[in-house]
Amino acid sequence: MTVEQFESARTTTPLTRNKSSAKRILVTGGAGFLGSNLCERLLSKGNEVLCLDNLQTGTRHNLTHLSDNPRFEFIEHDVTAAYGLEVDEIYNLACPASPPAYQADPVHTAKTNFLGALNALDLAKARGIKVFQASTSEVYGDPFMHPQREDYWGNVNPIGPRACYDEGKRCAETLFFDYARQYDMRIKVCRIFNTYGPRMRPDDGRVVSNFIVQALRGEDLTIYGDGTQTRSFCYVDDLIEGFVRLMNSPDAVTGPINLGNPGEFEVGELAEMVIAETGSKSKIAYRPLPANDPQRRRPDIGLADEKLDWRPTVPLAVGLSKTIAYFDEFLRREDAAMKEPIKESAA
């Protein structure tokens, strides 16, 4: 369904709210990993949810379990084009988030970041509503400050192969704060650190999904660099809780606020954990480090703790177990589908 078709149909078959306090919430990028988990969380609280996605990296499969919910609607739309919807809040998550995905079409990635933010802000301005921007720890680049605090301006290569995403997100933040200052708008901006969990794409190129899929398939786990670079891994349920707390915080709490797990692990350590948890006989293969790949990444979450009373609760071992179970089932279904015989046409 397109935006136009949805607005036309709504005049005759409106969504029905179960609770008088429920909201009508728009989630852009709602068919993606984080977006689909957020849609699920918002629906569980009795809200109506409109999911806007062009399916560039999101999938309908992520929304299958929500499709029969009368308070949920999927709208296929690219956020680089303006849209008009009657909603009470906007979560702007639309953008490819893994390097292979956002580097596949860097111009569109930059447009998604800038125009996607601009269109979300214009709609929020027209409706007089709050709008949330999902930014990223990549705004810090390859940081000289460790751990990274929100007042650190970063070390980003503006013309490198990752700039379409890194600088795109920085520009989106600029737009949000300029709109807030110029139009007195209510904005919420979070900076997401590495997050993992069910509904990640098996081919998204991120380290957790890469390692799990390779281990389950008995392939070598690919480490780029020597494995001593560090990352901090936040389970998706913890992150979504942070999203909701930030959106529901007082208007004076605008962000940017770091959301991530301050536990720091070497990539090589993560690889060994995945091999042990899956029982795989996989080995580790080392490859050259990609350009501008940060060496260290760990959030300072003091501001989130102070302003949102938020901190992650799911240990990495527990989250990995849940994520491995998800991918194991996903790959089994995929393998079974590949083995099904092709039915010949009766024509």
From the CB of residue 313, how many other CB atoms can be counted at a distance below 10 Å? 11
Cα separation, 47 vs 91, whole angstroms: 13
> Annotated catalytic residue: which of 83, 91, 140, 165?
165
Measuring CA to CA, which residue among 68, 90, 88, 85 is closest to residue 22? 88
Catalytic site residue 165? Answer: yes
Tell me if 215 sits within 8 A of 285, measured CB to CB: no
Tell me if 97 sits within 8 A of 151, measured CB to CB: no
Question: How many residues comprise the chain?
Answer: 347
Q: Which two tokens stand for residue 107?
A: 């111009």
Q: With residue 117 as reference, give the H or E element that holds it.
A: helix 106-127
Cα separation, 200 vs 206, whole angstroms: 9
Tell me if 116 sits within 8 A of 175, measured CB to CB: no
Cα separation, 13 vs 236, whole angstroms: 33
Cα separation, 190 vs 295, whole angstroms: 22
Q: Which two tokens stand for residue 195?
A: 């997050």
Q: Which amino acid is at 330?
A: F
Measuring CA to CA, which residue among 312, 228, 315 is closest to residue 272? 228
Catalytic residues: 165
